[in-house]
Amino acid sequence: MEKTPSYFVTREAPARISAMSRDTKLIVVVRDPVTRAISDYTQTLSKKPDIPSFESLTFKNRTTGLIDTSWSAIQIGIYAKHLDNWLQYFPMDQILFVSGERLISDPAGELGRVQDFLGLKRIITDKHFYFNQTKGFPCLKKAEGSSKPHCLGKTKGRTHPNINPEVVQRLRDFYRPFNMKFYQMTGHNFGWD
């Protein structure tokens, strides 16, 4: 498996994948774009501790509240815009949007949707997961080819920095219309607003 959020937001990706096979099934994990942006920033911060604050990168102009939509952490969360681009090449029924929130609260349920979408028998169920209190996330009871439990690594599920609540609110307001459009396009309310 090869995965990166870059595919979803790269303009040329749908045409290229369609040229390989028009029957490709596409799976995209989406989460609240505000949390996503903070998660993205947290990842960059872990590699480059000297970067400016989240708050200062968010705005083109802090006084007017103008958001810097060219900052990739913010740009990636404008899901409706990216989906528009994919729909030029693929029908909606070839794209599955997995809820990042439900992947944590109900991993078996969300993987059930993935298995159905791929036309697979539902092999992965509730029985395969347990909630690991230390990790704070669901983990596999048995990893593939092993009898031991397995959680994702340290780079998944990092603690996010505290962000100024006014900045978070401004971002919520910014994303709301794009989220609404995304819910309409997918026929699914992800519950971010």
Ligand X SMILES: Nc1ncnc2c1ncn2[C@@H]1O[C@H](COP(=O)(O)OS(=O)(=O)O)[C@@H](OP(=O)(O)O)[C@H]1O
Q: Which residues sit at the interface with ligand X, rule CB under 6 A?
A: 5, 39, 42, 103-104, 137-138, 152, 156-158
User: Exposed e or buried b for every residue in 167-181, given b needs 16+ CB within 10 A?
Assistant: bbebbeebbeebbeb
Of 14 and 138, nearer to ligand X (C-beta) is 138
Tell the smallest beta-carbon distance from residue 54 to ligand X (Å): 13
- Shortest Å, Cβ 39 to ligand X: 3
Output the smallest distance, CB 88 to ligand X, in A.
Answer: 25
Q: How far is Cα 116 from Cα 76, in angstroms, rounded to an integer? A: 27
SS3 call for 24:
coil
- The residue of the chain with the least Cβ separation from ligand X equals 39
Nearer to ligand X (CB atom), residue 70 or residue 155: 155
Least distance (Å) between residue 81 CB and ligand X: 19
Which residues make Cβ contacts (< 8 Å) with residue 19, sequence separation at least 6? Answer: none
The least CB distance from residue 136 to ligand X, in Å, is 8
Element at 176 (helix H, strand E): helix 165-186
* Lookup: tokens for 63: 């006084």
Residue with tokens 């303009």: 11
- The residue (of 119 and 141) whose beta carbon lies closer to ligand X is 141
| Comparison of 22 and 158: residue with beta carbon closer to ligand X | 158
Please say which residue, 136 or 177, places its beta carbon nearer to ligand X.
136
Asked if 54 and 44 touch (Cβ cutoff 8 Å), the reply is no
